[in-house]
Amino acid sequence: MGLFKKRSVEPEQPDDALTVLTASEANEFRSLVRVAFAELGLEVVIHPDHAVDDTGRQFGFWNIATQCADERRPEWRRLIREHVRRVVASLDAPDPFEGIDRDEAASRTFARLYPDDALPSLEDYPHSQFAPGIVEMLALDLPETVAVFNRENAARLGNWESIRAHGVANLAALPAERLETLDGPGGGRFTALLGDSVYTGSRALLLPGLATQLTGEDVSDFGWLMSVPNRHQVVWHMIRDSSVITALNGMAHFTVMGFSDSPGPVSPHVYWWDGSGYEQLTRIDGTGAIAIHAGPAFTDVLNTLMADE
């Protein structure tokens, strides 16, 4: 008998904040971020998912962390250095709204969905809540960047209602890049619109008309399921029968995956349109496990659909 027993190696757990990386990878990532800022003469305070410089500017980590997760670790220093240089240069660049008139703003503006914590404070930015955890804002699309309208810019170039009308029209005019019908476990199907455009996910604003336009599906009295995992994906299921149960399970897993491993994450949750707004149906616990949480109204829908079969 050997004197020493082999010890099984436990897989390292994902980092709490940057879940696309392990805890040790995330620590190395944050160290490289600090160095990249220091090379530009900027001292920053490193937080789990962002950095803050001495002027209070915040720099989020998620997008560059997802890029690093897909690359070999020797490439991280270069990727992070290039990313930090681009971000700092964009902040020091002239105001992107300077010289923009109302006509140009109308042609370049898109209604866009963001997580409600995308900015340190939403107070200075015109917005509306689209769903729990998701807000709609107005984005000016420029060749090198996308700029969010603050209240001052919105007032100068029109107002929320008029600029948003142009933003929704521009969103609706985008081509549908890739449409997929996916099977949930047990047979329920859901539809995903995928695309390279950073506005693809924001086309959730066009539901249910988007579904009718692309698939011929009309909305029923039971509403629909919707999710926006990231800026490149919008997912839906038009409720017809009890297959909504398996479709919901499939959407929940698809959405969490799309949220956790893609740039521009928006929300890991699935929502139900209840006739007047979106109700959140999923929860994620501290271990990353997904749970379905059906409120009274959605439970009534499920009971009705199951009774009809």
For helices 62-69 and 23-39, give the axis angle rounded to 10 degrees.
120
Provide the residue ranges of all domains of the chain, joining segments of one domain with +: 23-92, 102-172, 178-307
pLDDT tens string 222-240:
999 999 999 999 999 999 9
- Closest CA relative to residue 166, chosen from 124, 105, 215: 105
* Cα(301)–Cα(130) distance, integer angstroms: 22
The whole-number pLDDT of residue 35 equals 92
| Neighbouring C-alpha atoms within 13 Å toward the C-beta of 105 | 24
pLDDT tens string 127-180:
999 999 999 999 999 887 788 999 999 999 999 999 999 999 999 999 989 999
Per-residue tokens: 282:
């999923």
The whole-number pLDDT of residue 86 equals 87
pLDDT at 305 over 50: yes
The whole-number pLDDT of residue 150 equals 92
List the beta bridge partners of residue 198: none
Average pLDDT over residues 12-17: 88
List the beta bridge partners of residue 218: none
* Cα(208)–Cα(170) distance, integer angstroms: 17
Q: What is the pTM of this model?
A: 0.77
The whole-number pLDDT of residue 309 equals 67
| 13-22, 116-125, 217-226, 245-254: least confidently modelled range | 116-125
pLDDT tens string 157-171:
999 999 999 999 999
pLDDT tens string 273-292:
999 999 999 998 767 788 99
* Cα(293)–Cα(281) distance, integer angstroms: 5
The whole-number pLDDT of residue 1 equals 43
